Amino acid sequence: MGGGHSMDQLTSMGIVDARAGLARGHFTSAELTQAFLQRIEQVDSAVQAFLRTTPAQTLAAAEETDRLRAAGDRRPLLGIPLAIKDVLMTTGIETTAGSRILEGFVPPYTATAVRKLEAAGAIVLGKTNTDEFAMGSSTENSGFGITRNPWDLERVPGGSSGGSAAAVAANETPAALGTDTGGSVRQPAALCGVVGLKPSYGRVSRYGLIAYGSSLDQIGPITKTVADATLLLEVIAGVDPRDSTSLPVDVPMYSAALTGDITGMRIGIPHEYFVEGIQPEVETAVRSGIEQLALLGAEIVPIHLPNTDLALPVYYLVVTAEASANLARYDGIRFGLSVDGETIFDHFRQTRGAGFGPEVKRRIMLGTYALSAGYYDAYYLKAQQVRTLIKQDFDQAFAEVDVIVSPTSPTTAFRIGEKMDDPLAMILTDIFTTSANLAGLCGISIPCGFDANGLPIGLQLLGPSLGEEKILRAAYAYEQNTEWRLRRPEL
């Protein structure tokens, strides 16, 4: 294989390493891509991270980038294969959002974030598994089978971007895109021992992202290192005329924030995030992470976010209300599954009843209830008002501190099936992540330790809206002074 690199050496690489190897001519994109395709062939029957790959198409694209490189092309992601969560549309490649109702759907256009990656020279390696329409925290709600955690195949990878996180952790791809509506990039990254970045709301175009909760959804990278996440953010961020909620704000050189220096940075520790219910090993690991940040020169500041307890109930009312409206489009007429009925309404009922899985139905029902006559004021409007209070908590906190640190998830990866019969228990796994979506913040999860079972623990850094440089700076400094990222699962 390429220039004496073994398959294992090639697939252990993230973007920065692979890019350097390609630039120096140590191996070609075809060799690199072939190595990842072989790795998928070897381990994905166990991990089940990918819903589909298109090897011939992918290899042909890789060979084309090798020709372009020989002709002088120097685009930042030239020849880098990437995995894409299956809620992002890809022209000509089936896209299902993990739902049977979209089985066989082949999009006529590509999501802006994916298009930007391709414009930077990247190659789509395949589409990764997800909870159906990104509704879930374990990837067990996919209509096409569960994904397993590469650190322990009897455990979940987290979700909903569990396929992307597991694929990165299992060295099946250098990096991936996920989406985060209430923690769906950060939580699976934590449970799989990789880096997951949720950009601020409006930072990345949502055009071509199959909508779940439109005021909360954001696309973000899942990577092996902070530098890789930074590089991908630099490429996918920016205003898009096709998404009126993308912010018309210039994209900074995020990589300039990776100095390793956090002297004088003010790091807030919210009292309300360290309460009972956290797995003790998670709390210990995150607290020693905070000590490490202090040793590196940061100032640790205790803060209060008094409305923390309200974030989950508010999130569930807002996200299900938005989902019930967004998923009204699955009517069996324009695309997707179609089940005949006697009348047009019967056609809708039969199609939707047959095509949606249990969790999606549950959330559509909850959202429809919260928006229905007699309950709108008490649930949906009230939730939007409390959302204001939650946002104000963070506005006040970020007047005092640069970033906020917490655990990403209260526990490490749980067992497959453990929470499937208890929707409320599953909801509680999102306790530290949903606030960032409600308040439009940016957040990143980075590895900060392992529990007694050898399962990875994630540390979350939250920053204000458009404060990506701050969380990336702190995350990079921590990562460079610890060695958690060097441990990989054995498969």
Q: Which residues contact 431 (CB under 8 A, 6 or more apart)?
A: 277, 311, 312, 410
Q: Does 105 bind another protein (CB under 8 A)?
A: yes
Q: By CB under 8 A, what part of segment 400-439 binds another protein?
A: 423-424, 427, 438-439
> Which residue is catalytic, options 29, 138, 142, 160?
160
Site for another protein in 435-474 (CB under 8 A): 438-440, 465
Closer CB to another protein, residue 345 or residue 486?
345
Active site residue 160: yes
CA distances from 14 to 82, 179, 241, 262, 489 (A): 10, 20, 31, 24, 15
| 99 in catalytic set | no
Q: Which of 85, 116, 198, 419 is catalytic?
A: 85
* Rounded CA separation 214/470 (Å): 26
Cis status, amide bond into 288, omega within 30 of 0? no
Shorter beta-carbon distance to another protein: residue 276 or 340? 340
| Total of residues contacting another protein (CB under 8 A) | 69
Beta-strand relationship, 403-407 and 456-463: antiparallel
**Is 90 an interacting residue with respect to another protein (CB under 8 A)?**
no
What residues have CB less than 8 Å from 13, skipping those under 6 apart?
A: 21, 32, 174
Neighbours of 59 (CB within 10 A): 17
Q: Using the rule CB under 8 A, is 46 a contact of another protein?
A: no
The nearest distance, CB 272 to another protein, in angstroms, is 15
379 forms part of the interface with another protein (CB under 8 A): yes
**Longest Cα separation, the chain:** 70
Query: Does the protein bind another protein through residue 275 (CB under 8 A)?
Result: no
Out of 348, 420, 451, 480, point to the residue binding another protein (CB under 8 A): 348
Residue 376 as a binder of another protein (CB under 8 A): the answer is no
**Subset of 163-192 contacting another protein (CB under 8 A):** none
Smallest gap from Cβ 105 to another protein, in A, equals 6
* Amino acid at residue number 335: F
> C-beta of 162: minimal distance to another protein in Å?
22
Are 460 and 445 in contact by the 8 Å Cβ rule? The answer is yes
Among the listed ranges 140-148, 258-266, 346-354, 398-406, the one in contact with another protein (CB under 8 A) is: 346-354
Q: Segment 224-263, which members bind another protein (CB under 8 A)? A: 241, 244-245, 247
Clarify whether 85 is annotated catalytic. yes
Distance CA 366, CA 387 (A): 18
Q: Of 261 and 309, which CB lies nearer to another protein in the complex structure? A: 309
Told to check if 366 binds another protein by CB under 8 A, we report yes
Show Cβ contacts of residue 339 under 8 Å, excluding neighbours closer than 6 positions.
332, 347, 350, 351, 353, 354, 355
Backbone φ/ψ region at 48: left (φ over 0), alpha (ψ -120 to 50), beta: left
Cite the active site residues. 85, 160, 184
